[in-house]
């Protein structure tokens, strides 16, 4: 059981470049999330998905897009990276409904945009 995995672990982009972060979970969870964490800050929700083929905006969705084509995968895309998107990105998954209080997090992706 790998839990939640994220690819890549580190990435450096130049302003204007694009990239996709991949998240995979093997726990058969319905819900998946993308968060960003900036120094000294909590986790802020970017987008989330309550099931295959569905996505929704979170607290800070601007500049990001997501897709959930398969239940086990949740992709986060940056179409035109900006320095303000330098952050650590965490993916998480959970059971549905009010069981979402217990989320399982991946190891994170450290992204630097220069």
- The residue ranges that bind other proteins (CB under 8 A) are 31, 33, 35, 40-45, 48, 50, 56, 58-59, 90, 92, 98, 100-108
Q: Which is nearer to other proteins, 12 or 56 (CB)?
A: 56
- C-beta of residue 34 within 8 angstroms of C-beta of residue 94: no
Q: Which is nearer to other proteins, 17 or 30 (CB)?
A: 30
- Tell me how far, at minimum, the Cβ of 107 lies from other proteins, in Å: 5
- Tell me how far, at minimum, the Cβ of 67 lies from other proteins, in Å: 18
Q: Which is nearer to other proteins, 6 or 85 (CB)?
A: 6
Q: Which is nearer to other proteins, 83 or 97 (CB)?
A: 97
- Residue 31 neighbours by CB distance under 10 Å: 19
Instruction: Strands of 1-114 (E only): list them.
Output: 4-7, 10-13, 19-25, 31-37, 43-51, 54-57, 64-67, 73-78, 87-94, 104-105, 109-113
- Tell me how far, at minimum, the Cβ of 31 lies from other proteins, in Å: 7
- C-beta of residue 67 within 8 angstroms of C-beta of residue 58: no
């Amino acid at each position: 059981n790998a839990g939640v995995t994220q690819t890549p672990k580190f990435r450096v982009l130049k302003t204007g470049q694009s990239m996709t972060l991949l998240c995979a979970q093997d726990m058969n969870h319905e819900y998946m999330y993308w968060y960003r964490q900036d120094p000294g800050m909590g986790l802020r929700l970017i987008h989330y998905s309550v099931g295959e083929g569905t996505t929704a905006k979170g607290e800070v969705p601007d500049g990001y897009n997501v897709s959930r084509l398969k239940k086990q995968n949740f992709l986060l895309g940056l179409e035109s990276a900006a320095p303000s998107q330098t952050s650590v990105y965490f993916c998480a998954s959970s059971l549905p409904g009010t069981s979402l209080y217990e989320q399982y997090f991946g190891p994170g992706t450290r992204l630097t945009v220069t």
